[in-house]
Amino acid sequence: MMDWMAFWKTAVKIVGIGAVAFFVLWQLFGDIIKKITSFSSEQGFILAGMIIVFVSLLTSMAIVKGSHKDEDRQG
């Protein structure tokens, strides 16, 4: 059986968190992305901005949470 945690850690080391996040979002929301093309350019721009902010906040929260775990381990 594949060790998924090791897989994702290796993927992040090789391509970075942004590429991994983009890949996951593309897999999860691929159908939604096709529907976005029917929006006007202004609506698409606003939606893209909201998605970028949301993903950035989630990534920041994950990084902060991980750094707190490291501090707890060091004592």
Give 48-66 pLDDT, tens digit per residue.
889 889 988 888 888 888 7
Q: Model confidence at 36, in pLDDT bands (50, 70, 90)?
A: low
d(CA 71, CA 56): 23
Return the pLDDT at 70.
55
**pTM passes above 0.75:** no
Return the pLDDT at 75.
53
pLDDT over 70 percentage in the chain: 81
Numbers of helices and strands, H then E, in the chain: 3, 0
Residue with tokens 């890949």: 23
